[in-house]
Structure 1
Amino acid sequence: MPLFIIIMLLQVLLIVHAMKTGRNTLWIWVLLMAPMIGGLAYLIVELLPAWSSSNSAQKARKKVRDITDPHRDFRLAQDNLKRNETIQNLVNMAKECAGKGLYKDAEMFYERALKGIYQTDPILLEGLAGVQLLDQRYEDCKRTLNSLIQHNPNFRSKTGHVMYAQCLYHLKDIDGASEEFEALKKYHATALVKYHLGEIRHRQNRPTDALNEFRSIIEQENAWDPSGNGDEQWLTKAQARIAEITKTVH
């Protein structure tokens, strides 16, 4: 295809983009009157800043940075904490430690933050409980969440509710876990919630109900998980459980 035709097609696409996105009408005239220079100007002034500030662009830059300098954020959190031991710097350090699997260190930084007027802060307690859950210390996690509820009865958190249900599940309190995950499903039906309900139904010797839960992960839309974890692991696990249970049922 001749270069001239390619340039004209690109110009048409840029004009359509400018019209659809409500850009200043001056851009349409610029694109019409000066095809190559106008198109380049539109890309630099309008599109590149939008692309660079988008979530996907930010995630891509973070991935590159994590590969080239995987300890950069950890060092930055350390330096900030050394200069000024604020609550936010302690939390940032705790999160960096948790991300590297240093759960005991992360817990220590949360505990340093849980002092004075912040001793019963719900966000800090939830962060501490999250570290304990990652460290598979389910009794400690449950105790921390109970403390959070006791001192902050009006605090509401989907993340905290999911963690509490997971604690009961791992502590083999199947009835309690069933009740919590059922409550979660009514307002926060993530793939994680549905998968755990499927496992509970399977343990309760209810294979049809278990299959329905596992299939709903694959066939229905799942709520967004605020932790940022994707559905992939739960989709994979659900597919494996469907294959397993189907064999035994039939």
Structure 2
Amino acid sequence: MSLVFLLSLALQVACAVHVVRSGRPLYWIWLLLLGSYLAVAVYVLIAVIPDLRRNPGGHKVARQAMKVIDPQRRRRELMRQLELSNTVDNRRKLADECLQQGDFANAQELYQGLLTGLYATDPHFMLGLAQAQAGGEQYAQARATLDALIQANPHYKSSDGHLLYARCLEELGETEAALEEYRVLADSYPGEEGRFRYGRLLARHQHLDEARNVLQAQLKRARLMPGYYRRKEQQWLKAAQLELSRIGDS
């Protein structure tokens, strides 16, 4: 049997089970069997996703499914909201969405537009602007924005902002300063990215023993964490394992 046929069959069976469990008319099963992928797509849109939305535990799954099916849907909705009401909150939501989608040029323009008047030094908008600048590889500008953020908001704390600052230093070739920032983040950042970037930068500059210690400790610590945490941080744990393999786990 071909992989395409097996995948189609698996999806049809899964949807058929949902038909029975949700108490929907059984003719849906015949439609699913006859319509293959098209019928599955229709059923997911009009039955599975609405059910997930009504289930508090399924809201996240529904949002993720809609992002796969129509990744621009939320952006279009936010643009419509902004056309109806040009508020700071609506502009902020659209800027955040552009940033998440990797549209750094538009995100940067939107954040810059927000940084006026009462919001000229808003730390959340300044951090968003720095993230958009770094996303567009404008690391010097991103660092300058972060410096201005701290100067204007000396008591503002952000783990993501701290990590971004260290990344800018690394990209700008200020290795010792970046290592110092990563050293702090290895203990304070609420995730594995800070530890991985610290170990990788050590390895890149031939501090191999230190790099091994950092990466080995990272992986050992992660094994003691709950499964959901390891799944959430899988990207950085895999990257740490690959880096450790590259430099030699000895």
In 1, Cα distance between the equivalents of 2:105 and 2:71? Answer: 21
Q: Which residue of 2 aligns with 1:139?
A: 140
* Aligned match of 2:103: 102
- The superposition leaves residues 50-94 of structure 1 with CA deviations (integer Å, 9 ceiling, x where unpaired) of x9213xx22211122223332221111101111111111111111
1:100 and 1:199 mapped to 2: Cα distance?
26
Deviations 1:187-208 (A, max 9, x none): 2263111111112221342211
Residue in structure 2 matched with residue 245 of structure 1 by the alignment: 247
Q: Whole-Å Cα distance in 2 between the matches of residues 127 and 104 of structure 1? A: 12
Structure 2 letter corresponding to 1:75: R
- Structure 2 partner of 1:195: 196
The structure-2 alpha-carbon separation of the partners of 1:189 and 1:197, relative to structure 1 and needing over 3 Å to count, comes to farther
Helix, strand or coil: the match of 2:217?
helix
Counterpart of 1:23 in structure 2 is none
State the partner residue of 1:231.
233
- On the 8 A contact 1:194/1:216 being kept in 2, the answer is no
Q: For residue 55 of structure 2, what is the aligned residue in structure 1?
A: 52
1:189–1:223 CA contact under 8 A, matched in 2:
no
Shift of 1:242: 1.3
Whether the 8 Å CA contact 2:159–2:190 is kept in 1: the answer is: no
Q: Is the 8 A contact 2:185 2:195 kept in 1?
A: no
> Contact (CA 8 Å) 1:98, 1:106: kept in 2 or not?
yes
SS in 2 for 1:136: coil
**Letter of the structure 2 residue corresponding to residue 159 of structure 1:** D
Letter of the aligned partner of 2:233 in structure 1?
A: D
Q: Please state how far the C-alpha of 1:100 moved relative to its aligned partner.
A: 2.7
Contact kept, 8 Å, 1:181 with 1:196, in 2: the verdict is yes
Structure 1 residues without counterparts, runs of 5 or longer:
1-47
Larger Rg: 1
Task: Show CA shifts across 1:148-171 (max 9, x none).
Answer: 011111111111111111111111
1:36-75 alignment runs, 5 A limit: 52-54=55-57, 57-75=58-76
Unpaired stretches in structure 2, ≥5 consecutive residues: 1-50
Aligned equivalents of 1:192 and 1:93: distance in 2? 26
Maintained 8 Å contact 1:74/1:93: yes
Residue identity (%): 28
Counterpart CA distance in 2 for 1:230 and 1:244 is: 24
Residue 174 (structure 1) aligned with residue 175 (structure 2): yes
Inter-partner Cα distance in structure 2 for 1:62 and 1:75: 15
Q: Residue 130 of structure 1 corresponds to which residue in structure 2?
A: 131
Would you say the 8 A contact 1:188–1:223 is kept in 2? no
Provide Cα deviations, 1:17-62, integer angstroms capped at 9, x if missing partner.
Answer: xxxxxxxxxxxxxxxxxxxxxxxxxxxxxxx99x9213xx222111
TM normalised by structure 2 equals 0.71
SS in 2 for 1:155: coil
Structure-1 residue corresponding to 2:79: 78
Whichever residue aligns with residue 218 of structure 2, its letter is I
Cα RMSD (Å) of the superposition?
2.5
